[in-house]
Amino acid sequence: MKKISGGVCAAKGFTASGIHCGIRKDKTKNDLSLIYSEKPCTAAAVYTTNLVKGAPLTVTKEHIKNGIAQAVICNSGNANTCNADGIEIAEKMSALVSENLPISAEDVVVASTGVIGQKLDITPIQEAVPTLCKSLSKSGNDDAANGIMTTDTVDKQIAVSFELSGIECTIGGMAKGSGMIHPDMATMLVFITTDVAISQEMLQKALSTDIQNTFNMLSIDGDTSTNDMVTVLANGMAENEKITSDNDDFKTFMKALNSVTVGLCKMIAADGEGATKMLECNVSGASSKSVAKAVAKSVICSSLLKAAMFGADANWGRVLCAIGYSKADVDVNKIDVSFRSSKGEIKVCENGHSIDFSEEKAKEILLENEIEILVDLKDGEFSSSAWGCDLTYDYVKINGDYRT
């Protein structure tokens, strides 16, 4: 397996585009994106569990009920959520794609991201879709990734190539997400494309299984969005033997999918609103997978720990505090804690108690922009990872006037 360029366009048969249509005031930023497969795709998706859901999620869920999709249209700058005409607007976006490409409106995935509770004017989208469709290209992934960004400071793309029974296959993805990230199914908006031939049942199984250890282990600020959605489109153009069961090819596909989703998780964590550091909590020695996950997620979500990491303060007591309220069944008198970065590793807690360590060395380690928090529970063989970022002054500044 190797990383390649191309994002959502890396797989055979996929093209993409992104343009500025006028939803966002800043004309230098794209606000409308399209992904298209020349052949119909097997489709799978997961959605936010927030009771308040964006209209595009409702429309998409209905569209791919038959397990088929061929295009994705997404706007930024407006979430199309809590709008009386939201469903109508989302359906119109699908119809516009159908009018300009040889596909059915029911085969279009619709997504929106941005401010909640503001009406979305269809006019700029309607005027732009013909150009958006004509702009589709094999090199359009950068424009498309740019078009789904809101408070993101960088686009987020990844692709890998791998073999299934000697056949070269590809999977790629793009994501948006910087704030309002604390998923309970998936997170933000993530679009994944692959040329693998796979049944809808196995594709959905792969996605639903993977997110439990990737996107569901990611948190920026503790807020679960109304518009979170992850979709995977598989057009089968690699011409591998179709995956219809949990065989060796399925396991390889799962590994490739996981490499893409973990990569996107880390990119999102590193680009958290106002963040200066990406945090990764790696828990080992747990008595069960559920214990490992609970501990990792609790640590990565701690506002006090996030603030300490911003200040490069090796306040390991905040790690134990977060473990203590995680409700995980652990023996606090066994826990070891270390911090690691490109500057080295330092143990700061052993068997749940303080030990002598160099504060100067710890600060040097914690001043780096990628920090690992290592927790050894010394109670079993299970492990888990979670991702997040530090908590800075800028997070409050960004969200204090996000709408106005």
Q: Are residues 252 and 325 in the same domain?
A: no
Identify the domain containing residue 340 by its residue range. Answer: 278-400
In the predicted model, residues of the chain with pLDDT beneath 70 are 178-187, 221-227, 402-404
Q: Are residues 142 and 264 in the same domain?
A: yes
Q: Are residues 294 and 351 in the same domain?
A: yes
403 class by beta-carbon count within 10 Å (0-12 exposed, 13-18 middle, 19+ buried): exposed
* Alpha helices, DSSP H, located in 39-161: 55-63, 86-100, 123-134, 141-147
Q: Are residues 86 and 182 in the same domain?
A: yes
Q: Are residues 194 and 343 in the same domain?
A: no
Q: Reduced to 3 states, what is the DSSP secondary structure of residue 30?
A: coil
Q: Reduced to 3 states, what is the DSSP secondary structure of residue 391?
A: coil
Give yes or no for a contact between 78 and 112, defined as CB atoms under 8 angstroms apart. yes
Q: Are residues 287 and 236 in the same domain?
A: no
Strands in 344-350's sheet, in edge-to-edge order, are 353-354, 344-350, 336-341, 370-376, 278-286, 382-389
Query: Residue 2 to residues 59, 140, 169: CA-CA distances in angstroms?
Result: 35, 21, 11
Query: Residue 149 to residues 118, 178, 335: CA-CA distances in angstroms?
Result: 18, 9, 40
Q: Are residues 299 and 375 in the same domain?
A: yes
For the CA atoms of 10, 15, 20, 24, the dihedral, rounded to the nearest 10 degrees, stands at: -60
> In this structure, which long-range contacts are made by residues 298-302, counting pairs with CB atoms below 8 Å and at least 24 apart in sequence?
298/322, 298/323, 298/325, 298/326, 298/328, 299/323, 299/326, 299/373, 299/375, 299/386, 300/217, 300/219, 300/373, 300/386, 300/387, 300/388, 301/182, 301/219, 301/222, 301/388
Last residue of a domain, one of 250, 269, 288: 269
- The two three-digit tokens of residue 9, written as one number: 């366009």
pLDDT of residue 398: 75
**Closest by Cα among 389, 368, 148, 181 to 266:** 389
Which CATH number do you get for residue 216? 3.60.70.12
pLDDT of residue 186: 47
Q: Are residues 231 and 170 in the same domain?
A: yes
Which CATH number do you get for residue 330? 3.10.20.340
- The DSSP 8-state label assigned to residue 313 in this structure reads -
Last residue of a domain, one of 211, 239, 269: 269
Q: Are residues 257 and 347 in the same domain?
A: no
Q: Are residues 211 and 241 in the same domain?
A: yes
Q: Are residues 184 and 306 in the same domain?
A: no
Phi, psi of 278 (to 5 degrees): -90, 130
Sign for the pseudo-dihedral over CA of 120, 123, 126, 129:
negative
Q: Active-site residue numbers?
A: 187
Angle between helices 200-210 and 248-270 (to 10 degrees): 40
Count of domains for the chain? 2
Give yes or no for a contact between 73 and 110, defined as CB atoms under 8 angstroms apart. yes
pLDDT of residue 225: 63
Q: Are residues 264 and 289 in the same domain?
A: no
pTM for this structure?
Answer: 0.89
pLDDT of residue 181: 57
pLDDT of residue 403: 64
Last residue of a domain, one of 269, 297, 322: 269
